[in-house]
Amino acid sequence: MPSRCSSDTFGPDNVGEDNTCPLHIGERLSKLEQLFEKFVCRKSSSIATSSAPRSPMLAGASNETPSKFKFVGLPEISSAGQSISSIGEGILAAQHGTWTSAPSIRTLVDKGEPAQTVCDTIHRALVSLLPSQHDADIIFETSNGWMILNGMYRPCKDIFVNQDPESYALDMSEIAKERAVIIARTLVHLAICISALPPEFDPSRFSNIWNLDATMETYISTVTSLVTSTDEPLLTLPGLETLLLLSVYQMNIANFRQAWLIVRRAMNLAHLMGFHRIIAQPKIQPPVEAVEAASWIWRCIVDIERYLGLHLRLPFAGDDYPVMEDADPHFVHRARLASISRQIAELDREITPQMYVQALALDERLESMMREQSKDFWDVPNIPPTARTPESYAVLERLIVQMWHFELKIFIHLPFLLRAPKESRYEYSKVTALQAGRNIVMRWFALRNAGITQACCRLGELGVFIAAITLTLDILIDMATKEKGEVQKTKGSDFMMICRVIGEMEKLGKASTREKIAARSAVVLKKLLSSLDPSKGPVGKMRLTIPYFGTIEVERKKLPVRPAFDLDSDTAKKLNTTATGHHLPVFSFVSNALWPPANDRPDCGLDFDIVLFDGLEDTDVEGNWVF
């Protein structure tokens, strides 16, 4: 058996040529011995009695100055509370000067106290931001974001008002007793509810909240700096729920890229916690609350990541999750839409016959999924404006799933819609994409009629924006390629839809600064139409990049000019023939008053007046609308 090493082993007499390791250790301990001896010699006069505060010193040190140590090795600690790090700090301090006071002695208990103090400070800072119960009740009762409590996370029953989950209101006094991460989650939830308040809401109803925008910003910035800045508190169910709500908040304020970054961080942490494996396991009977919560969070994270990744043309990180066949129909269909979104995103490439075959195959899959649902599932629902019940939640979820379904239809067929006028084989894509756009607009009107366009993370507003852009491009293409009479008959209803969408969005944007998506959508739609007006720019081609839609190219044409000669001349008669429709100018049709019948217009002969209106709500101006 190998012999044990002792203190005598490292003496100079026992070191040989074949004992290199003890040689090195002996040299190092000899240097350490000299350092300790030097330290004790220089500070022997500073060592106080046992009643005075003790400085870090070596075992066996006394008022006498030792000449050398009786052994070679590490010294003993003078007390159980004294740590090795405190001795090392004392030695380093001795090499730079004389002590003015006794150095602090750090123990394992001391290391825990600062961390606890920091946690208490964070907890107090978060609790101080919680609103009064009066203000919180007003927010929960008035906000259109009440679906967050069922859609994104499900808190325990104890923190609800009167412990009633169907109240959709949280008890601030109970929240204040919870951990810091749960308080942070509640603050983000409140910020979402404030952002989803109706545009006509009167802030004077609050007792302690004066500026809604500043309150939301304070909640979010505080949670971001104190809680989500480190991963440790986020590696919990409430922590992931906080990140999920932060992503929803960024979507509500039209900051989709920041929302994508946050949800990807939540997905990375959920991967580390094994949520992607938990959801793949067979369902446990009876259900375990923690497992059910983890599975629910993972589904929400994947759904939001797929939705944002498809609109932003960004890659996906999460795999498909199993479909719960026994769940509600809208949950089953939402899971299938999330699965097919990855394949639809891959279609955003060069247009080829092979790509069109893939697009038609995906369209067939969507049609098959649509047929699996009942006919009643696809009806435009009647939405109660104020009811906060599980039934109302199911109706709103079904409507949003419908809009997502038709949005995917547009994404599949949009590249081919723009090529349909030149290649007739793409006519099916044109018809399908336009019908999907109309379906989205009709469902957004249902939300608008109920006054709750802010519900469901404002996904409806982004969907109707894409649908309106699609319908607008089709109208402009037809104006350049077809006769006026045909355009008036086939596109009149679409033009009315677009006018109403822009008018409603402008009203929302003017009513509240929180309606950022609506305000920006109205600006983009109006700019698209006005940018196609040749009188407001040089003749030639231009490129328009539309947010969350893509880039299109538009070619400007010269406007017809009013002749300055006798109307009875031969040239005037030719021009009159041109104006009546035998030779249609580019991007032109008669009257922006939703194309009134021809027999209602006075027979004045020539019609060269060009009226370019400032707002799309002005539909009573007679004249030509020429782009």
DSSP 62-106: -SS--SS-SS-SPPPPSSTT--HHHHHHHHHHHTTS--SSPPP--
CA dihedral 71, 73, 79, 80 (to 10 degrees): -140
**Residue 617, both tokens:** 């709500």
Which tops the pLDDT comparison, 492 or 60?
A: 492
Q: What is the spatial distance between Cα 460 and Cα 456, in angstroms, rounded to a whole number?
A: 8
Residue 307: name the closest of 358, 266, 354, 344 by CA: 344
In this model, does residue 114 exceed pLDDT 50? yes
pLDDT for 288 equals: 87
Which residues is 383 bridged to in the sheet?
none
pLDDT for 69 equals: 38
Beta-carbon contacts of residue 261 (< 8 Å; ≥ 6 apart) = none
Q: How many CB atoms lie within 10 A of CB 72?
A: 16
pLDDT in tens, 74-100: 344 444 434 434 434 443 444 444 444
pLDDT band at 395; cut points 50, 70, 90: confident
The letter for the amino acid at 252 is N
Q: What mean pLDDT is predicted for residues 114-142? A: 90
For the ranges 463-467, 522-526, 577-581, the maximum mean pLDDT occurs at 463-467
Matching residue, tokens 């019609």: 607
pLDDT for 40 equals: 54
pLDDT band at 367; cut points 50, 70, 90: very high
Q: What mean pLDDT is predicted for residues 64-77? A: 40
Q: What is the pTM of this model?
A: 0.69
pLDDT band at 416; cut points 50, 70, 90: confident
Give the mean pLDDT of the chain. Answer: 74
**Burial tier of 265 (Cβ tally within 10 Å: 0-12, 13-18, 19+):** middle
| DSSP string across 287-338 | PPHHHHHHHHHHHHHHHHHHHHHHHHT----PPP----TTS-HHHHHHHHHH
pLDDT for 587 equals: 36
pLDDT in tens, 315-351: 899 888 988 777 889 999 999 999 999 889 888 667 7
In this model, does residue 525 exceed pLDDT 90? no
Cα atoms in the Cβ-side hemisphere of radius 13 Å centred on 502: 23
